[in-house]
Amino acid sequence: MSIRMKLILSYLIITILPIMLFVGFLHLVFHIFFDQLEEVKSFYNFNDNEAVEEFIFQDIVVIAEGLQVMKELDEQQVLRYMDHAQERLAQRQIGIFIESNDGFHASTIMNHDLQSHLLHESFQSENLSNGYYEGEEQAWIFLASQEENLSITLALNITPVQNLFKSILPTIIMGSIGLFLLISITLTIFMSRHFSVPLKTLAQSAKNIESGNYNHPITLHRKDEIGQLGTSFEKMRHSLKRSMHEQMKYEQNRKELLSNLSHDLKTPITSIMGHAQGMLDGVMVTKDRQEDYARVIYNKSKHLNHLIDELSLYSQLELEQVPFQFEKVHVNHYIQDIFEGFKLEYEEITWTLLNECSHGDVQIWADRMQLFRVFENLLNNSIKYMDKTDQTIHIHIKKIENEVQIDIEDNGRGMTEYEVTKAFDRLYRADSSRDQQTGGSGIGLAIVRQIVNAHNGKITMNSRKGEGTRVQFCIPSVK
């Protein structure tokens, strides 16, 4: 249930309950009161006049008719009538008071207080009246009617009802207030707990996150707005934890890169400086030796140049600053040309090409020049890290659903599992001392992956130490 709904319900309870109690109380009052009125009604029935109407005050009409009858009677008959009525009404606490303007009056009412009050009241008001009289000890409600020289009054003793009200009214009022307070306090405690406990949990969790502790999950087990807030909080905690992890990984990578870079730059520069110094000191006496020194300086500078070029390309790719010229490329011709070029250059290697796309006109969206870098780097790796005399490089092209899959497999020196996981990292070389001689900067595969990703493709590597390596990449084909 939503918080809004809970608040509405609790306020409804707080508002409606006292109203219900009040209505209940009124109901009780009227119940007692109307029970008494029934007594009055039955008196009219006894009088055998017209039937008593629904509401007591309408029966005044009947009284008037009663008066009409009375006028015809003599004093003795009235007194008999009164006696007879007295028998029937005494138990019911209803009294009759009759008075004529010539001074005659008859009454079944024993209370002198009421009698003198009625004597005083009679003939003062015209027609019908009703009222309430409270003596020293007793209280009545009465209905009076007068016609010409005769008036008749019915008085109902309501002392027991009044006493009852007096005794239960404070209890009912106090009980209602008590119940109202109890419900309000219970609801207030419930609602405040309902909100404060989860809010405290969220506050604690925010503190944990603030202090860099992302490991405490937030579990609120509720579906309302606070529950939704908890879920969003939990998602935020997860993404913060993830980004913090990535940040740390990135930092670690950056440190490694810096240390690798400084090492990779320092080594050739030291060598260049050493050889240049040697030349300046006149170490080499023969022309051959002079040439050797110059060649070393040239090769090291070339290596440095290559490293800087590769690094700058890599960072441009990472910043997405390299403009790709995508066009439809026929896989068949494109790869065949590259294959022929390498085959001509490296005749000592046994080259095989299994092209499953040779019959269909399979095309891919690619930047020819950048994709060539991918083939060049992968094939150069296979050639560079070849340690067998019987050297083979196998290329396999096939179309799988909406992709063209290219495998390049060699029987070179291969890599361990760990080396494979690191191979696509920047500046990683499996065997740095040996790979230094091969001229590798360790950034080629990182560039390859960036280019394949830019083509919306994927690249994976499988290798076995001493047996060979297979690199597989996929590029989406043109539909």
Ligand X SMILES: Nc1ncnc2c1ncn2[C@@H]1O[C@H](COP(=O)(O)OP(=O)(O)OP(=O)(O)O)[C@@H](O)[C@H]1O
> Which among 254-262, 341-349, 359-367, 374-382 is the span making contact with ligand X, rule CB under 6 A?
374-382
- 66 vs 444 by CB, closer to ligand X: 444
Burial 117-148 (b: 16+ CB within 10 A, else e): bbeebbeeeeeebeeebeeeebbbbbbbbbbe
Task: Compute the least distance from the CB of residue 415 to ligand X, in Å.
Answer: 5
Looking at the DSSP assignment, which residues form a beta bridge with residue 462?
470
If one asks whether residue 442 binds ligand X (CB under 6 A), the answer comes out as: yes
Binding ligand X (rule: CB under 6 A), the pick from 349, 357, 371, 430 is: 430
If one asks whether residue 412 binds ligand X (CB under 6 A), the answer comes out as: yes
CA distance 298 to 231: 62
Q: Which does 430 bind (CB under 5 to 8 A by kind): Mg ion, ligand X, none?
A: ligand X
Total residues binding Mg ion (CB under 5 A): 3
Total residues binding ligand X (CB under 6 A): 24
Task: Compute the least distance from the CB of residue 334 to ligand X, in Å.
Answer: 22
If one asks whether residue 376 binds ligand X (CB under 6 A), the answer comes out as: no
434-453 residues near Mg ion, rule: CB under 5 A: 444
If one asks whether residue 445 binds ligand X (CB under 6 A), the answer comes out as: yes
Smallest Cα–Cα separation from 371: which of 397, 349, 393?
Answer: 397
> Which among 112-120, 149-157, 204-212, 430-438 is the span making contact with ligand X, rule CB under 6 A?
430-438
**Other beta carbons within 10 Å of 151:** 25
If one asks whether residue 367 binds ligand X (CB under 6 A), the answer comes out as: no
- What strands lie across the sheet with 128-134, from one edge to the other? 105-107, 94-100, 150-157, 139-147, 128-134
Binding ligand X (rule: CB under 6 A), the pick from 109, 218, 423, 452 is: 423
Task: Compute the least distance from the CB of residue 479 to ligand X, in Å.
Answer: 32
Task: Compute the least distance from the CB of residue 424 to ligand X, in Å.
Answer: 7
User: Which residues are CB-neighbours of 188 under 8 A, at least 6 positions away?
Assistant: none
If one asks whether residue 381 binds ligand X (CB under 6 A), the answer comes out as: yes
Binding ligand X (rule: CB under 6 A), the pick from 220, 415, 451, 452 is: 415
Q: Which does 342 bind (CB under 5 to 8 A by kind): Mg ion, ligand X, none?
A: none
> Which among 33-41, 143-151, 155-163, 444-452 is the span making contact with ligand X, rule CB under 6 A?
444-452
Q: Which does 412 bind (CB under 5 to 8 A by kind): Mg ion, ligand X, none?
A: ligand X
- 297 vs 447 by CB, closer to Mg ion: 447
Q: At what angle do helices 444-454 and 287-318 cross, to 10 degrees?
A: 30
Structure tokens at 86: 């007295």
Residue whose structure tokens are 């320092």: 266
> Which among 126-134, 187-195, 235-243, 378-386 is the span making contact with Mg ion, rule CB under 5 A?
378-386
Q: Which does 415 bind (CB under 5 to 8 A by kind): ligand X, Mg ion, none?
A: ligand X
If one asks whether residue 66 binds ligand X (CB under 6 A), the answer comes out as: no
Q: Tell me the backbone φ, ψ of residue 109, rounded to 5 degrees.
A: -90, 120
251-310 residues near Mg ion, rule: CB under 5 A: none
If one asks whether residue 440 binds ligand X (CB under 6 A), the answer comes out as: yes
Binding site for ligand X (CB under 6 A): 310, 377, 381-382, 385, 410, 412-415, 423, 428-431, 435, 440-446, 469
Binding site for Mg ion (CB under 5 A): 377, 381, 444
